[in-house]
Amino acid sequence: MADVGVNLKFREPRSAEDVAPLCGRSVEETSQLLWDLAMAGVCFVNDIDGVDKYWLETWIPGVMEMMVNNKENVSKYPQIAQSFEEYGRVRGPMTAGKFPVGKGLMRVIPIETAIDGNSKSASFEEVSKYLYDNDVFSVSDCACRTSREILGEGCGHLKEDMCIQLGHAAEYYIRTGRGREITRDEAFDIIKRAEENGLMHQIPNVDGFEKTHAICNCCSCSCYSLRTATMFLNNDMVRSNYVAQVDPENCVACGQCVIHCPTNALKLGQKLCGDAQDFKQRVDLPSNSKWGPEKWNPDYRTNRENVLDSGTSPCITECPAHIPVQGYIKLASQGKYTEALELIKKVNPFPAVCGRICPRTCESACTRGSIDEPVAIDDIKRFIAEQDLNNDVRFIPKKRHDYGKKIAIVGAGPSGLSCAYYLAVDGYNVTVFEKQNALGGMLTLGIPSYRLEKNVVNAEIDILKEMGVEFKTGVEVGKDVSLDDLRNQGYEAFYLAIGAQAGRKLGVEGEDAEGVISGVDFLLNVNLGKEVDMTGDIVVIGGGNVAIDVARTATRAGASTVQMFCLEDEKTMPALDEEVEEALSEDIVINNSWGPKRVLVEDGKVVGIEFKKCLSVFDENKRFNPKYDEEDIKVVKADKILLSIGQAIDWGGILEGSKVELNPNNTIKVDPKTLQTAEPDIFAGGDAATGPKFAIDAIALGLEGAISIHRFVHPGQDLLFGRDRKEYRAFDKANLELDGYDRIPRERTRAIDGQKAKVTFSDLRDTFTEEQIRKETERCLSCGATVVDEYICVGCGQCTTKCKFDAISLVKKYDAKNVSFEELKPEVMKNVVKRTGRMAVHSVKKGLGMYD
C-alpha cells in the first residue's frame, strides 16, 4: 500500500490509471488500494468528471483529522488519537513568533454579529461567505474532541455534529462515512447552535485567499489549534483581524463574557479603586523574544481565572452561587424583567424562593454601603422573580441538547431540584425521588409559610415539570427501591441530596422525657398540616435561623410564651439580625449565654429546664468547646422544649452495599469540586455533603453536580478539564474613590407589625413597586467592569453573544490575509527575518530598562 501512496501528489488529483504504472500494479488493484488509503484518511478522493481521483493534503489541518475521523480505526488503534495530540504538542511550539498574523494553518473567523459597525469586515472574515460559496456540505464529529475523548481528556463539549465540511471535503467525508450530508440551512443551524452553546469558529487557513474546505466549531479546552494560543501563548498563529473592546460605561461586570471567553482573555475588574485595573503590559511576546516552556501555560485547562488580582464587585464575589447581581439590576432598571430572570437562572433556578429566604451576603458586601446603605438587592431579585409566579410571563429555558440518558436525583430539596433543573436544560431524562409526599425538601417542610409560602415553591417546581423532569414522591431510596434497582432500570448516574433532615440531641439528663421535641420534626409536622399541641410555656434551645423559625412557629401554634436560650452572646448569635428583630417584635424572649444543664421531669413529662451560664463558646483554636460557670444557674418553667441546636443526616439504607464513604460528622465524602463520591456514578451535594447551610449554598452545588454528571455519563470526559473554577475575589474597599456620589435613601417595603404577624402563617411582606425598582436600581454603583487582554484575545466574538448591555464588540486591529500552503514558505521566512531584528531591539530596550 505504501508504494501506492508515495506516488500520489500534493493537491494534484490522480486516478488509479495514473498511479498504477508508477507502482507496478494493476489498475484494479491500485484502485482498491487507493480507496483503502482514502478510507484510512491518508488522502482525499473525489469524483472528478466521472473518475475517482486521489491526492495528498497537508498533515494538519488535513490528514490527521481525516485519520481520527475513521471511527473504526481510531477505536481499534488509539495510538492514532494519541499521535494527533502529540504532533500538535511537539510541533506547535516550533511555530512561536514565526508565522505572521493571518497566515497560520488555522484561523479564527469571528462571529458575524460581533463586529462593531464601524469596523468594516471583508467577506473572507465571515462564516456565511464560505457557506454561500459552496453547494455540498457535510457534518462530522470533531477530530480534536474525538482524540481527547479516547485519551480520557474530554472537557464536556461533546464531539458529535461539530465540524462542517465544504465542497470537495464534504464529498470525501460523505463517501467515506466520516460525515453525513446536510443542507446549507442545516449548516447555518449548526453554526447558530454552536454560538449559543459558547463555541467559536475556525477554518483551515491554507487553501488560498478566500478559500477553505471546513468550518470548525471549537472550544479552547479541547481544540489542538487553539492550544497554540492557550498553552503556548502564540496567539498570532490563530487570531482573526479583530480584538474585543469593552465600553466601561455600559459594562456591568455580569461576567458572562468572561465565563465564555475561549482563551481567558477577559477578566472581571473594577472601576472605583483608582489603582490600575488593566492587565499588566506584556513586554515579552513570541514575536520579539525567545519563546520556550518557561513562557507557556501548561495547566491552561485547569487554571482559568475569572478575576484580576485587584478584584471585582463584592456582590458577585460573596454570593455562594456568584449570581451576576449588577447584571440583573441593570436589566431591571431598563424594565427587562424576563431578561433579568433569564440571567439569574443561569446559576440559580429558584429566584422567587431565594428572594424570600436568602441570607443576603451580597448586600452585606455591597459597595454602596460605603456611601450610605447597601442596595436592596434581595428586594430587587424578589420583584424580578415575581415573573416566575405568573404563568403568562415565566421563563422556561430552552433545551440545549437531547441526550436522553436517565439520571436519578434522590431528594427534592433545593440542591436536588437545582441539579435536576440544569440536567433538564442539558437534555437529560431526569427523575427526582422524594420520600415525603411533598416536594421542596426543607423549603416546603422546614421553612414556615410566613417566610416562604408553599405556592411560591410549587410555582418554581412547576417549571421543572414543564421541562420534563419526573417526580416520584413517597419513594424512599434505600428502602422502597435500591440504587442497584435503579441502575438496572437504566439510570446512569445519581445525585444524592437528601438534606440534613434530623434533629440533634442535647446529651443532658432528662431530654428523653415527653415534651422534649426536635425542632426539625416540629416544623415538619406543622408544614404537613398535622395537629400540633403547643399550648403553655415553650422553651426553644438554639440561636440560629432555624431556632428562630421554631420559636416564631411555636407562637403561631398557640404557645402562651416562647423563650429562646442559646450559648452565644447577643453579638455572636448566629441568627441573622433581621430574623432576631422579627422574633423580638413577636414577643419572643431571647436569653443569650445560657447552656442547658438538665431537663426537669415529673411523671415522665417535662416541667422545666435548668440552665448554666455560658462564659465562652469556642476555645483559643476556634474549636467548639463551651466553658460554663457551674454556679450560675437559672431554672425555667417549660411545658414543651423544642431542640434546635443543629441538624443531622439520616442515610437510612441508601448507601448499603456501596463504596461511598462518610465523614466523621456523617456528611458524605465528596470531591470538593466535582462532588463525586468513592462510587463513581454517585455524586452528592447540599446539606448531605456540607452539613447545614443556606438554600443558596445547596442550589450552587446542584449546578456543579449537574456539570459533573453530564461529563461522567459520556465516555472519555474528564470532570475538571476546562471547568469554570468560580474563584472570585472582591476589591479592597480601602482604596475606593467615591467623591461625587450623592447619598440616596434606600427604598423599603412597608414595615410588618409583629403583633399582626404572629397570629398568621401568611407572608405579610410586600414586594417593591415598579417605581421603587426604578429608584433602587439607580443606586447601584456598577463598581465592576470587564477588562480585555488584547494580546490573548483571538477575536472570535463569542463574548459579544453573551452580553446583554451592548458593552463589548469586536474592532479591527489587523488587516491580514491568508495564502495557500504553496505560498506560505516565503511569507514565514520573511517574518522570521523580521523577528530576528525585533528580538535584537527588544533585548536592547530591556537592558536599558525602557519597559520599567
- Identify the band that residue 847 occupies on the pLDDT scale cut at 50, 70 and 90: confident
Range(s) of the domain holding residue 618: 503-648
pLDDT at 741: 87
Is the domain of 831 the same as that of 707?
Answer: no
Quick one: average pLDDT of 777-804? 94
Whether residues 615 and 577 fall in one domain: yes
Is the Cβ–Cβ distance between 515 and 605 less than 8 Å?
A: yes
CB 58 within 8 A of CB 821: yes
Task: Please name which of 282, 341, 270, 349 lies closest in space to residue 311, comparing C-alpha atoms.
Answer: 270
d(Cα 59, Cα 61) in Å, to the nearest integer?
6
The answer to the question of residue 345 being in a domain is no
Residue 136 domain flag: yes
Q: How many domains does the chain have?
A: 3
Q: What are phi and psi of 351, to 5 degrees?
A: -70, -30
Identify whether residues 462 and 545 lie together within a single domain. no
What's the average model confidence in pLDDT over 176-204? 95
Average pLDDT over the chain reads 94
Note the pLDDT of residue 351. 94
Is the pLDDT assigned to residue 114 strictly greater than 90? no
CA distance 649 to 127: 55
Report the pLDDT value the prediction gives residue 779, as an integer from 0 to 100.
96
Rounded Cα–Cα distance for residues 422 and 348 (Å): 10
Is 809 inside any structural domain? yes
Number of other residues whose CB lies within 10 A of the CB of residue 404:
8
- State the CB neighbour count (10 A cutoff) for residue 12: 11
**Cell digits of residue 540:** 426553644
Lowest mean pLDDT among 105-119, 357-371, 657-671, 748-762: 105-119
User: Do 696 and 826 share a domain, yes or no?
Assistant: no
- What integer pLDDT is reported at residue 566 of this predicted model? 96
> 491 is written with which cell numbers?
439510570
pLDDT at 276 over 80: no
Whether residues 702 and 803 fall in one domain: no
- Do both 584 and 661 map to the same domain? no
Whether residues 452 and 518 fall in one domain: no
The angle formed by the CA atoms of residues 685, 578 and 320, to the nearest 5 degrees, is 25
Of 648, 663, 686, which closes a domain? 648
Name the pLDDT band for 852 (thresholds 50, 70, 90): confident
User: How far is Cα 650 from Cα 512, in angstroms, rounded to an integer?
Assistant: 19
Contact at 8 Å (CB) between 471 and 384?
no
Contacts of 530 (CB under 8 A, 6+ apart): none
**pTM higher than 0.85 for the full model?**
yes
Tell the residue number behind the cell numbers 454601603, with chain if given: 369
CA 520 to chain centre: 32
pLDDT above 80 for 279: no
Residue 745 amino acid letter: P
Strand-pair partners of 72 = none
Which of 6-15, 117-126, 504-513 has the lowest average pLDDT?
117-126
Residue 341 within a domain: no
pLDDT in tens, 487-535: 999 999 999 999 998 889 999 999 999 999 999 999 999 999 999 999 9
Domain contains 587: yes
Same domain, 596 and 611: yes
Last residue of a domain, one of 712, 727, 755: 712
644 and 680 assigned to the same domain: no
State whether 567 and 459 are in the same domain. Answer: no
Return the half-sphere exposure (C-beta side, CA atoms, 13 A cut-off) of residue 544: 12
At 264-275, the pLDDT tens digits run: 999 999 988 876
Distances in Å between the alpha carbon of 208 and those of 95, 103, 432?
A: 20, 10, 55
603-615 pLDDT, tens per residue? 999 999 999 999 9
- With beta carbons less than 8 A apart as the criterion, state whether 209 and 86 touch: no
Same domain, 567 and 596: yes
Residue 15, strand partner residues: 53
CATH of the domain at 607: 3.50.50.60
- Of the chain, the end-to-end C-alpha distance in Å amounts to 61
Considering the domain boundaries, does residue 24 fall inside one?
no
**Cα(22)–Cα(7) distance, integer angstroms:** 7
SS3 of 362-392: the string is HHHHCHHHHCCCCCCHHHHHHHHHHHHHCCC
Residue 61 lies in a domain: yes
3-class DSSP string for 623-634 = CEEEEEEEEEEE
pLDDT recorded at residue 387: 81
Residue 367 has which C-alpha cell?
A: 459597595
In this structure, are 686 and 708 located in the same domain? yes
Residue 39 lies in a domain: no
Q: Which helix (H) or strand (E) holds 546?
A: helix 545-556
**Boundary (domain end) residue, out of 623, 648, 673:** 648
